[in-house]
Structure 1
Amino acid sequence: MTAQKALFIINPKSGTSRKANFPELIKAHLDSNKVSAEIIYTQYAGEGSEIAEREKNHYDIIVAVGGDGTINEIAKPLINSNTTLGIIPMGSGNGLARHLGVPLSPKGAIMLLNQQTSMKIDTIRLNKDIFVNVAGVGFDAHIASLFAESKKRGFFSYGMLALQEILRFQSTDFKLTIDGEEKFEKAPFLVSIANSSQYGNNAHIAPGAEISDGLMDICVMRKVPLWYYPTLVFHLFNGTLTRSRYYKTWQGKAAHIHLLESEKNKNIHLDGDPYQLKDDIELEVNPLSLRVACRA
């Protein structure tokens, strides 16, 4: 194998893991005969994308060290390029890494890069933006917005926040059209657009999703009664949501989510990071547009 050049872009603020000793981990576990490494730490939101855009033609692999939001930021400039995205999952949920089978330990993820194996995956355009894992409107976007403002990270903190907000949340009205066909018009609890199968932490919002099939999975959850929450959580973490009568899912290449005028300026999340909606949502799959380092 020819030695590859890798640039590690580290977000020191993402997730719960400390990253101070990460250079030592690279020295210990990256085979320098196969992959040479350089490291940059980001200083502000959005810098990872700027670095990846500037450096993508100078490296074989650009490695995102952080959570799904960091991966999203660094992946965007690499779409339809010859540069491979590497993933060291050090976020709160690590949904994309889990779906792709990337080891969750930094040591294991670094050693995976030594194999120099990769695959092409789909990405999804949302209006003028891009995401690689899961986006959504409704309750999950509401929690993503609150979680971004919280000083506490991790799965437990996210779960407690969801429990606090679940009874207060008011569903909003959407009209959903997939490949030109209207599918849904009532007010759902959430609408998730999935490229992979899960949010993170093995919470499978789209159990049947395939990341390289040229299709997105559009998942709709209706508001559930209080007594049903334990069953809902069971289905979510056991990959059996399709058994729930409160859940529907469709696949498509393009979709449109129409917002009532009164519902604009609501939250949306892209790979867990919150944004404000200004317009209707236009979605389109970019088939096999991103090369990602993963198991053979």
Structure 2
Amino acid sequence: MTDDVLIEARDLTKLHHTAGGVVRAVDGIDLSIRRGETLGLVGESGCGKSTLGRTLIRLHEPDEGSIRYGERDIAHLNRKELRPLRGDLQMVFQDPFASLNPRRSIRQILTEPFSVHGIGTRKERRQIVDDLIEKVGLHSDFAERYPHEISGGQRQRIAIARAIALDPNVVVCDEPVSALDVSVQAQIINLMRRLQTSSGAAYLFISHDLSVIGYMADRIAVMYLGEIVEDAPKAALWKEPLHPYTQALFSAIAQPDPPSVPRRKRVPIEGDIPSAINPPSGCRFRSRCPFAMPICAEQKPALKEPAGRAGTRVSCHLVNSP
């Protein structure tokens, strides 16, 4: 792990046991996020994005693999060993109303992290909370309100305030603006960028909205059925996605008329997402891929760097063939 990599997963696997069988929701994933970097994570609903984010910061227990945070493998620490690290690893959830306790005031919600970790006196915590509320663009008077008394955008600002309260080094943002009106989304996104610039935290930013990812991310990872199929710097991926699934996702982005950039060639995806309990052999995307070859059914493609694309990893026989 290089010096600037803050958190790194290797062969990370999370299983869900269902009545129909075992779902490999996160299946042998390798990823890393550097200090101050935002890694965007995209993919269709149900592909395992949220599970990956929660497993990475140990809100879910991993079944296999390692998670290096700093110089320590935190994948299998027990609850007591994890507790000192909780302030460093935080999450902003999709639905701010569901993630905030409706029976507690904003002040009580934001005071809790400091109480749990024994930070400050009662008087000091009041001032810290007031400053925190103002840091996310609200007036300190909001501290005495309850979640149901404020708007969705304001609730998400409070959720962000709670996440950054202890100056975390890693923040997982799970669809943090998808439940908000479009007019509010830009405000929240810009707020998160400003907070990251001042703190240097690493973000894993999960979204199905490629325009949001394009604005927030430095690198983008594309996920399909529990696996990462492409991982590249944003500029390279935006200019020339290599995996057929990534090409299909990007070709579906709505463009203005007349377009500001050349229109992308439409890449069709046929059929529905296969069963996560019984995925296709070899390449999991082959059953929907317009370029599938016999080897795609026989051999799982490795996620590796193709010739001439430094910093990009692709899991595709078509791209990585000699």
TM-score with structure 1 setting the length? 0.31
TM-score with structure 2 setting the length? 0.29
More strand by share: 1
Which structure would you say has the larger RCO, counting Cα contacts within 8 Å and 6 or more residues apart? 1
